[in-house]
């Protein structure tokens, strides 16, 4: 099983070791956005590196979570639990949340 807490620290430690950004939060969000766009382009163009691009997205999210002191693993589990309890109804072809 993957331990996201350990991965967060490992990603952060690598950022520090390599001299990468660990203080400009907005820059990190922009870099995450860039990685999502690269994954989308790879998918659109049927390139073989879609998985690697998605991994880049997760790596940047893990790093940002560590910078912000957020336990991403706990947040993911909490959000999945919340999503599973929500109820939706299809209205005019679009799913609308009807219960949290």
Q: What is the CA radius of gyration of the chain?
A: 17
> Contacts for 73-76 with beta carbons within 8 Å, 24 or more apart?
73/3, 73/4, 73/5, 76/4
Structure token pair of residue 50:
């879609």
Which residues in the chain land under pLDDT 50? none
Instruction: Tell me the per-residue pLDDT of 69-85, one tens digit each, with 9 for 90 and over.
Output: 999 999 999 999 999 99
Q: Which domain holds residue 35?
A: 4-99
pLDDT at 24: 98
The span from the CA of 13 to the CA of 72, in Å, is 16
pLDDT at 35: 98
Domain count across the chain: 1
The span from the CA of 6 to the CA of 71, in Å, is 10
For residue 91, give the H/E element and its range. strand 87-91
Instruction: Say whether pTM exceeds 0.85.
Output: yes
84: burial class by Cβ within 10 Å (0-12, 13-18, 19+)?
A: exposed
CATH number of 85's domain: 1.10.287.1080
The one-character DSSP state at 65 is H
């Amino acid at each position: 099983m993957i331990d996201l807490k350990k991965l967060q620290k490992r990603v952060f430690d690598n950022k520090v070791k390599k001299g990468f950004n660990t203080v400009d939060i907005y820059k990190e969000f922009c870099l995450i956005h860039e990685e999502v766009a690269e994954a989308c382009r790879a998918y659109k163009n049927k390139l073989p590196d879609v998985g690697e691009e998605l991994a880049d997205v997760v790596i940047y999210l893990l790093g940002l979570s560590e910078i912000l002191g957020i336990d991403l693993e706990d947040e993911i589990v909490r959000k999945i639990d919340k999503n599973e309890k929500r109820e939706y109804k299809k209205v005019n072809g679009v799913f609308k949340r009807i219960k949290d």
